Structure 1
Amino acid sequence: MPSKSSARLAALTVAAACSAASTIVLTTPAHADSVRVHDVQGNTRTSPYAGKQVTDVAGIVTGIRTYGSSRGFWIQDPNPDADPATSEGVFVFTGSAPKGVAVGDSVTVSGTVAEYVPGGAASGNQSLTEITKPTFTVLSSGNTLPAATKVDARSVPAAYAPPGDSTASGSINALALKPSKYALDHYEALEGMTVRVSDTRVVGATDPYTELWVTVKPHENRNRHGGTVYGSYDAQNTGRLQIQSLGATADFPKANVGDTLSGTTAGPLDYNQFGGYTLVASELGTLKTGDVKRESTRKHKNGELSVATYNVENLDPSDATFAEHASAIVNNLKSPDIVSLEEIQDNNGATNDGTVAADQTLTKLIDAIVAAGGPKYDWRSIDPVNGADGGEPGGNIRQAFLFNPKRVSFTDRAGGDATTATDVTKIRGKAHLTLSPGRIAPADEAWKNSRKPLAGEFAFRGRTVFVIANHFNSKGGDQGLTSQFQPPSRSSETQRHQQATLVNAFVKDILDTQKNADVITLGDINDFEFSKTAKLLEGRGELWSAIKSLPRNERYSYVYQGNSQVLDQILISPSIRRDCDFEYDSVHINAEFNDQISDHDPQVLRFRP
């Protein structure tokens, strides 16, 4: 997948250059009218005045944004109406840094009401009500600001969103807000108003864009590190809220999951492309550390085979993280016998010049592991066709096996390449791969612009172990949890379902050939343990996702928008599961930390073949 920074920069650039084009005008008649802020906002997600001219909308300036693509200021009416569904705040979009206005000014604003969809209409995001092309008059300065509305566990409903209108493709835009019934309605009814949260726990670490996530519901699906676990499509974590800084970002806290923003954090409630409802803080709480430490698993015992999966996030020879990845493998993962690596890039990374080999990338990592006190791993991989496997343009990411030749051996069967499929054959009553390493059905449409599974045959203490390394299609293109469409569309699932079906069929071929074969299917599945993707991969008992052996509140390998969730999995065949002589560990070293070297946590399985 493209890097997060490049995707974010591209999105912001488009928004800055095309803000007018991204403005969604929902109605066209224009007339002058003097209205209040709550009239502009109305009691649905879209303004009854969208596309119309309004004059002398009165309010107190509560915040000014002078950076980014959406510059302007918020106003809030200090004299609210009695309807909790109508917000008293609205954003005034000026396009450039506002001049002649300050926080505390009492102003009247005239302009055109518009519904701006962050990310564009195709994103499925909700719209943000704005007054655009404004003219304004400052009536007085130094006024007391309207009191911030408290957002806490008692005010935010447990139900997430109303079901969308089936006659409007599932949109909730035209539905009357019910802020006491649905969390998304509650936040929408506060759009543009100053809100405050107090003593909130961090559930999403500070990212490179000076954002973090908190929860206002301290006990909602909490894990032992303080995160909020995402365990179902039907039970959303409604207490999550993104925090940004309205002012200078230099002092923005570098928080980890489990830390606390103690005291009050307050500012206007915005809605943006990358996180939905966002508190843009003019007042930030004080960071109190939760002292969460990076985890280490235990060393495998004699007779145990240890197998890990680790997404090293677009690793190429120019990266400065090799020593840190090596230390993680040696010290935190305890030098597993086999490591399935995802997102190994070619020898010159994102340089798009036709290079596909990754021997330098892998050799540099192996040398770093030795320098960190680990074993001298060997490796196997298959170079992809240039540009055919998705990911960062020019990077040619692929899966690769590292293995410790003093503990486990690799069975090489020549002929595997980017376009030739491996198969299963029977030799003396046992299953074998025709090509090892080999790729599973690489020509199938299921793998278009996506990574092809890498299958390998290993031997440990005289027993064959089949390992299939995967990196399924990403979730790119899915509608967000705060989409205007409820439930949101997950269009990327279609390809993952096809991929899961193919991998399961391959495993079934192995087990039909040898019923008691040890098969491990692992990697970045890019989907949850409760998803249909996982169910198709598991099939009718051919595989089982071993992360389900952990307590529900400890099942996670990734943190996204404050949700601790499963993307990385190790699935095992019945022969491994049957004896119950296995241990599974999701080793939390990255996802919960602001100084992560990858956005994924590695997973480790230990068992006795």
Structure 2
Amino acid sequence: MVGHTTAPNKYDFDAPFSEDTNIAIADSPTERDPAKIMPVKVKTEFRGKFGLHNNPNIVGKQVYITGELGEYFSVPAIKGISSIWFADEAPPVEEEPVEGKVVTISQIQGETHKSPYKDKLVKDVEGVVTYVADNNNFYMQSTTPDSNTNTSEGILVYKSGGHGQSVGNKVKVSGTVKEWVITGNKVGIDLPVTEINASSVSVVEQGVALPEPVKLDPPTSVIDNDSFSTFDPQQDGIDYYETVEGMLVSMDSPVVVGPQKYGEVPVVTKKVEDKTYTTEGGVLLTEETANPERIQLDLFDNNFKAKVGDQFNGTVTGVLTYDFSNFKVFANKSSLPELTERAYTKPISTLSGDEDSLTIASYNIENYSKREKDKTAKIAEQITKHLKSPDILGLVEMQDNDGATNSGTTDASQNYQALIDAIKVAGGPAYEWTDIAPANNEDGGQPGGNIRVGFLYIRIAFNLLKEKKEQPQKRLILKTARLH
């Protein structure tokens, strides 16, 4: 060991050292050429003995390291070390998982995305029930955690035929450890969740106090930058969330960054100083950040209303899990703090046409059908009041007359007329419409819906040329364009 890495190709060779997070190694204790020195990232559990801030006298000693080659400080380095020892010591003996052995939840989880006990039998794994997902699934968490923050203390338990457990039950579980993709059609796409496929669940005690939730503090830039080659929770968001999989977690006043869908509300665990957000408070995907602090809050309420920029006024707690390509927190809606709504006024266009100009707008009406009367009135009001009745309006996702009914029809005249009539009621002009209807079930959207792009236009502003419409699957080439 020759010193401490401070920046790419820069090293501190003399005490005092500022951190315990890394060491620098070389073939000779007197080496000073950066090209011949390699950084080593030191995991938390090894820093007490091998961190230079607290142990400056170990510089110059020879060490053996087991780990993985990767990149650290933008140079080749050793990361993900599994063992390290001084040359004058006996190497540590790594214990292989023993099938049928009594182990802890953290031992089952390990410092990895896949359990070292995968497909092995374990017995009498102890924990307190923290969340009941359904009759067959519950989450439990250790009441005697270890000191390693890189291993989760929570786990999913599956018991076929029903488990009969309640939150607060301290239980012992025996069964087979599995890596389970919760949504079946996402196998090969989603991350698996570590679970015990239980053969037996016995209650040790009831009414046990639950562990204190762990405050979520994920990285805020990188989701994964090493294709899972190194387990690096301090840098990779995907690795960080693995360290709290199945555990009770908390977020202080999380901010909503998207609308509720399927009962899930996307939030950020924290706002980051100097990070750029949208005007409303949403996150931006940029070259510099993939926003791993964004997570789903699962409330199991499809009617829950929240918009970007709203904020929960207090601490939100729940159990962290993974499903449908997202980390999420199962939260009890009844225990949520108050949601403070962000003040919002819908924007109103400042554009208006005159004898020398036209106003043109587009609007995605999202699988529109005349059957949705409330939606029809809302769209008409927005066109009239907020878009200021543009001269030409492109409509995206207009369905056919009978909506998602797969009848073979593609005509949408009744839908256009329903929307035109509603615009008149809202105080707007008398629009006309045109489109090229798609071939049946060829253009995507809901089966039978036959969505297409169409246009509303005001005849007083211009006339549509009376020329033959082309067929829906024919490639169109615009040669001339005239407005009358």
TM-score (norm 2): 0.74
CA distance in 1, matches of 2:169, 2:362: 56
CA distance in structure 2 between the aligned counterparts of 1:162 and 1:423, rounded to whole angstroms: 44
Whichever residue aligns with residue 210 of structure 2, its letter is: L
Q: Which residue of 2 aligns with 1:300?
A: 352
Residue 49 of structure 1 corresponds to 117
1:394 aligns with 2:448: yes
The answer to whether the Cα contact below 8 Å between 1:270 and 1:279 also exists between their aligned partners in 2 is yes
- Does the residue aligned with 1:45 lie in a helix, a strand or coil? coil
Aligned position for 1:520: none
Partners of 2:383 and 2:423 lie apart in 1 by 7
Identity %: 34
Counterpart of 2:330 in structure 1 is 280
How far does residue 118 in structure 1 lie from its aligned partner after superposition?
Answer: 3.5
Report the counterpart of residue 283 of structure 2 in structure 1.
228
2:181–2:187: 8 Å Cα contact kept in structure 1? no
Distance 1:335 1:56, change over 3 A: same
Contact 1:199 1:262 in 2 (8 A): yes
Matches within 5 A, 1:143-162: 143-151=208-216, 155-162=217-224
> Where does residue 412 of structure 2 map in the other structure?
358
- Inter-partner Cα distance in structure 1 for 2:456 and 2:248: 52
Residue 89 of structure 1 corresponds to 154
Aligned to 1:263: 314
* Aligned-residue offset at 1:189: 0.9
In the TM superposition, what whole-angstrom CA distance separates every residue of 1:308-353 from its partner, at most 9, and x where no partner exists? 1111111122222111111111111111111111111111111112
CA contact (8 A) 1:30 1:51 kept: no
Give the residue type in structure 2 aligned to 1:324. Answer: K
The verdict on how the C-alpha distance between 1:98 and 1:122 changes in structure 2, with shifts beyond 3 A counting, is closer
Counterpart CA distance in 2 for 1:189 and 1:253 is: 29
Secondary structure at 1:305 match in 2: coil
For residues 488-522 of structure 1, the C-alpha deviation after alignment (integer angstroms, 9 at most, x for no partner) is xxxxxxxxxxxxxxxxxxxxxxxxxxxxxxxxxxx
1:406-451 per-residue CA deviation (whole Å, 9 max, x = no partner) reads 22332332141223333244xxxxxx1xxxxxxxxxxxxxxxxxxx
* Residue identity matched to 1:293: T
Matches within 5 A, 1:501-512: none
Q: Distance in 2 between matches of 1:39 and 1:148?
A: 20
Give the aligned CA root-mean-square deviation in angstroms.
2.3
Q: Does 1:309 align with 2:359?
A: no
Equivalent residue, structure 1, for 2:249:
195
Q: Which among 331, 337, 361 is matched to residue 391 of structure 2?
A: 337
8 Å contact 1:342–1:400 — kept in the other structure?
yes
Aligned counterpart in structure 2 of residue 371 of structure 1, from 425, 438, 446 = 425
Q: How does 1:67-216 map to 2 (within 5 A)?
A: 71-94=136-159, 98-99=163-164, 101-119=165-183, 120-122=185-187, 124-151=189-216, 155-165=217-227, 172=228, 175-207=229-261, 209-216=262-269
C-alpha contact 2:223 2:291 (8 A) present in aligned 1: no
1:49-74 superposed Cα distances (whole Å, 9 cap, x missing partner): 1112111111111111227xxx4111
The residue identity in structure 1 corresponding to 2:366 is E
CA distance in 1, matches of 2:381, 2:186: 44
Aligned residue in 1 for 2:83: none
User: How many aligned residue pairs are there?
Assistant: 381
Matches within 5 A, 1:404-553: 404-425=458-479, 432=480, 457=481, 459=483
Gaps of 5+ in 2: 1-96
Give the letter for the 1:224 counterpart.
Answer: T
**SS in structure 2 opposite 1:365?**
helix
Deviation of 1:164 after TM superposition, in Å, equals: 4.6
CA contact (8 A) 2:221 2:291 kept: no
**Which position in structure 2 is the counterpart of 1:240?**
294
Higher relative contact order (CA 8 A, sep 6+): 1
Letter in 1 for 2:202: T
For residues 587-598 of structure 1, the aligned pairs below 5 Å read none
User: How far apart, in 2, do the equivalents of 1:62 and 1:317 lie?
Assistant: 47
Shift of 1:226: 2.0
Q: Shift of residue 107 of structure 1?
A: 1.0
Distance 1:354 1:79, change over 3 A: same
Q: Deviations over 1:30-64 (max 9, x none)?
A: 94221110111111111111112111111111111
Q: Does 1:318 align with 2:371?
A: yes
Task: Give the aligned partner of residue 91 of structure 2.
Answer: none
Higher helix share: 1
Is the alpha carbon distance of 1:399 and 1:104 closer, same or farther for their aligned partners in structure 2, counting shifts above 3 Å?
Answer: same
List alignment gaps of at least 5 residues for structure 1.
1-28, 166-171, 426-431, 433-456, 463-609
* 2:108 counterpart residue number: 40
Larger radius of gyration: 2
SS at match of 1:322: helix
